[in-house]
Amino acid sequence: VSGESLADIASQMGVTADELLADNGLVSASGVIAGRTMYAAAGGLVHVIKRGQTLTDISITYGASVEKIAQENGISDPGRINAGQRIVIPGASTNLWKTVIRLSRGQESRFIWPLDGEITSPFGWRIHPVFGTRHHHNGIDIDVPEGTIVHAAAPGTVRQIYDDPEGYGTALVLEHADGYLTVYGHLSSVLVSVGQYVEVGQLVAESGNTGVSTGPHLHFEVRHGEFPIDPQRYLPS
């Protein structure tokens, strides 16, 4: 209804404002507009199933068992779920969505930041810090201590995990909608497996100093197809 605040709507539905944002995939109250249908689940969170996502993936994301999710939603066969279907995740907290809100900086954008930190090397041509040659930097370097949690910049599927001692070290590639990929390099550990579906903001890795690196940081790339593009064009300002 026009004139109602997020807090008003949340109170009427018996949930907190944070839960209402999470249930409806919103990063700020600006997404609440008159006439929009809002969803809420007392004692849990509403989740919209994505194409290719399994109940096992959802279970890992929220830390709720497949059995509990299936029982709560009357799902007799956990292998038969449909993209676009709304289900309730019993007992889920808003912690994941709070991370999304923080790393989106309250803005709607294609990707969120994979972590907080200072950009020490932007996208584009530069003198390579190790080899001293002119070299195109296909992503951005974000200065963070080793072991900092890395979050998925968008929902998608784990496409590749590899080790490249002469380059990105331990690296992770996620595949997203519309032909986009994100790459996370110089990792100390990877927390997901190939083929797994991950939600935006989900913990996927820990930053490190592996491969050809001058110090602990995260190398982050956005690609469309196989072509690297400047991540800052798609990240919140």
Catalytic site positions:
217
The rounded distance, in Å, linking the Cα atoms of 20 and 223 is: 32
State residue 79 phi and psi, 5-degree precision. Answer: -85, -5
Give first-to-last CA distance, the chain, whole Å. Answer: 31
Report the amino acid identity of residue 108.
E
Cβ proximity of 194 and 158 under 8 Å: yes
For 79, 113, 132, 204, the CA distances from 72, given in Å and listed in that order, are 15, 33, 58, 27
Shortest CA distance to 200 belongs to which of 118, 82, 101? 101
Residues whose CB falls within 8 Å of the CB of residue 11, separated by 6 or more in sequence, listed in order: none
Q: What angle do CA 32, 222, 97 make, to 5 degrees?
A: 35
In whole angstroms, what is the distance from residue 152 CA to residue 104 CA?
12
DSSP 133: S
